[in-house]
Structure formats: structure tokens, C-alpha cells
Amino acid sequence: MHIDLTGHTALVTGSTSGIGRAIATALARAGAGVVVNGRDGKRTEEAAAAIREETGNPGVRGVAADVATQEGADAIVAAEPEVDILVNNTGVFGPMPVFEVPDAEWRRYFEVNVLSGVRMARAYVPRMVDKGWGRVIFISSDSAMLPPTEMVHYGITKTAQLAVSRGMAQSVAGTGVTINSVLAGPTLTEGVRQFIGELYGEDVPFEEAERRFMAEDRPTSLLRRLIRPEEIANLVVYVSSDHASATTGAALRSDGGLIPTLIP
């Protein structure tokens, strides 16, 4: 299967590192013009430059703005008014006992993980509908189906993304615009590497910490290792293409078989 996204513009929020950067790189390799986004201007430009060099795609550029605020979302739309593929990847996570999470932290997680995507979709989806083609993908998580005990405040935001994406897909039925979620399983990003390191201590080699984490904390995984960001990106590129034109309103699993159900 050959995927050619030449002529399309893709915006990937939170794409200076981790899964977001892998997605931006994969979309650029497929020929799309790619807008890299992060909060820090210098880091955003450096990421865009690195992806341009790696992929040989001159259409990669950066826009620094905080999509967790309406002002940041407005700044991105002003800089890039036409986007065909929107990947809502921005997110935060971190462990905290559920009964110790203050109201402010619940609100922050909802603003960053849920409302950031709502803002961007609200801006771009009507334009996609007018053109008769568009792709919106929310990067959710296995935590949407299996709320982690140590991160309940994170898990509920991932569940909310599934409801938002499904509801939005229903609202644009028959328009040529598809809206889906991708449920990423435990993935080897810088943040997860740090999280696992803190969980087991610096004295434990990372390979051993990874094995123990998957065996003890994510025992239902059939992959039995952390997913690599590129593996998530591969699914996103497919869902962004014409090959996935009949896939909409779906929660697509790239979780290594971790969620022990037939259907999400």
C-alpha cells in the first residue's frame, strides 16, 4: 500500500518530541506539508528543522503556541488557516493518588488533554467540510478503557477524547471529513522513560525496568514491551489517507493488545 499525502497540510499539536514528533515525521515522509507545534519557539523551530532534514520535505515548518489556551489556538489558526489533517496529540500525564488530586489539576488536565483538541477541531473542521475532505485524529490511550489507578485524572481525559471524537464524527456525517481516535498503548517516549525510571529507581537498568513495568503494571499487554512512537505514527498516517475513507467515528487500537476486549 502506497500512501501519498502530497498536497495536504497536516498540523500535529505537541509534536516537538515523543509520539507527536514521530507522527509529524511520518506524515512528512508521506509528502504532506507538516506544521510542527510546541509551546517553546526555539524548540519548535529546532524540531521542524530536524524533521525537514531527516525527511527531505521542505514543507515542514513550526508554529509555537499553547493550544491549552484559546489565545494559543487562535495564534495557530492565524498562522496556518488551511489544514487538511489535524492530529490532536498535545497532552500531559503524571502519577498522583486520586484522592490527592486538587481541583486545579483536574481542570489543567482537562484543558490540555481535551479542550485543546476541541479548540483546534472547532476552528478547522468547518473549513474541511466546506472543501469536502479532511481528517481529524485524537491521540487517546489505552487509559481511556483501563483507567490507571495511579493516574485516574489522566485516564478520564482520554475517555473524554473518545466521546468527543465520536460525537464530532456524527456531526459531520456524509461530508468527506473523518474523525477518529487512536488508542496508543504504553509507548517509549522521553516522558515514559522518566516515569519508569522514577518508578523503579536509577539503579535498575532501563531494559529491566521496562520488562518489570510491562509484567507488573501492564500485564495484559500481548506485545510485552513498550510500543515505539513510530508504530503509533504508522497507524496515524494510514488514517490520514484516502485508504481510510470508510473509517470514521472509530476508536482504533494501537495498544499492543493491552486492552482485553474484542471491541474498545
1 versus 97: the higher-pLDDT residue is: 97
| pLDDT bucket at 112, cuts 50 / 70 / 90 | very high
**How many residues belong to the chain?**
264
Mean of all residue pLDDT scores within the chain = 97
Residue 119 cell numbers, joined: 479548540
User: Structurally, what CATH architecture does the domain formed by 9-186+228-252 represent?
Assistant: 3-Layer(aba) Sandwich (3.40)
Which pLDDT value is given to residue 191? 86
The pLDDT of residue 99 is 98
Residue 1 pLDDT greater than 90, yes or no: no
pLDDT band at 73 (very low <50, low <70, confident <90, very high): very high
pLDDT at 164 over 80: yes
**Res 142 pLDDT > 90:** yes
- Whether residue 171 contacts residue 248, with contact meaning beta carbons closer than 8 Å, is answered with no
The alpha-carbon radius of gyration of the chain (Å, integer) is 18
pLDDT value at residue 116: 98
Query: Is pLDDT of 264 > 80?
Result: no
Query: Where does residue 69 rank: exposed (0-12), middle (13-18), buried (19+ CB within 10 A)?
Result: middle
What is the set of active-site residues? 154
Q: Considering the entire predicted model, what is its pTM? A: 0.96
Which residue in 173, 170, 157 sits closest to 112, CA to CA? 157
Taking alpha carbons only, the member of 235, 231, 261, 262 closest to residue 247 is 235
pLDDT value at residue 202:
84
C-alpha cell at position 223: 506485545
Query: Do residues 105 and 154 make contact, with C-beta atoms less than 8 angstroms apart?
Result: no
Cα distance between residue 143 and residue 160, in whole Å: 11
What CA–CA distance (Å, rounded) separates 92 from 110?
10
Q: What is the pLDDT of residues 185-217, one digit of tens each?
A: 999 999 889 989 988 998 999 999 999 999 999
Listed by start position, the domains of the chain span 9-186+228-252, 188-226
Residue 16 · residue 90 · CB < 8 Å: no
Quick one: pLDDT at residue 7?
97
Q: Can you give the pLDDT at residue 193?
A: 92
